[in-house]
Amino acid sequence: MEEHDYVAISSLVLDRIKYENMVREAEELRQQVRSLHLTQRLSLERFSSSPEDVRFYTRFASYRHFLNFWKLVESAVMTKMIGVTNTKASTAGSDRSHTSLKLPPIDELLLFLMYLSLGQPLQDLAERFGVHQTTVSTIITTWANLLYHLLGGKCLWLPREEVQARLPAEFASYPDTQVVLDFTEIYYQMPSDLLSQSEAFSTFKSHSTLKAMIGMAPHGAITFVSALFAGSMSDRDVFKQSGIVKVLQPDMAIMVDKGFHVDNLAPCKVYRPAFLSGKNQTQSTARLRIHVEHCIRRLKGNRLFHGVLPASVCGVIDKLFSVACFLVNYQNGPLMKA
Please check whether residue 291 is in contact with residue 274, taking contact to mean a CB–CB distance below 8 angstroms: no
Collapsing DSSP to helix, strand or coil, 270 comes out as: strand
Instruction: Tell me the average pLDDT across 242-255.
Output: 96
Mean pLDDT of 126-155: 91
User: What is the structure's pLDDT at 26?
Assistant: 72
The predicted model gives 52-57 an average pLDDT of 92
At residue 230, φ and ψ (nearest 5 deg) are: -60, 140
Beta partners for residue 141, in sequence order: none
pTM for the complete prediction? 0.77
Q: Please compute, for residue 190, the number of CA atoms within 13 A of its CA located in the half-sphere on the CB side.
A: 9
Confidence of residue 295 (pLDDT cuts 50, 70, 90): confident
pLDDT at 269 over 80: yes
Q: What is the mean pLDDT of residues 281-288?
A: 62
pLDDT at 9: 59
Query: Mean pLDDT across the stretch 140-148?
Result: 94
Q: Do 73 and 147 form a contact (C-beta atoms < 8 A)? A: yes
Q: What is the pLDDT of residue 226?
A: 95
| Dihedrals phi, psi of 173, to nearest 5 degrees | -80, -10
Q: Of 125, 79, 86, nearest to 103 (Cα)? A: 86
Instruction: Return the domain boundaries, the chain.
Output: 1-40, 44-153, 160-331
Residue 5: pLDDT over 70: no
CB 322 within 8 A of CB 225: yes
Give the helix ranges, DSSP H, for 166-278.
194-200, 235-242
Sign of CA dihedral 93, 99, 100, 103: negative
In order, the DSSP letters of 100-112 are -----HHHHHHHH
Class of domain 160-331: alpha beta
pLDDT over 50 at 90, yes or no:
no
Q: Which residues pair with 303 in a beta bridge?
A: none
Query: Is it the case that residue 91 has pLDDT exceeding 50?
Result: no
End-to-end CA distance of the chain: 106
- Per-residue pLDDT tens for 158-203? 999 999 999 988 898 899 999 999 999 998 876 565 445 555 556 5
Alpha helices, H only, the chain: 6-40, 51-58, 63-80, 84-90, 105-118, 122-129, 133-153, 160-165, 194-200, 235-242, 279-300, 317-331
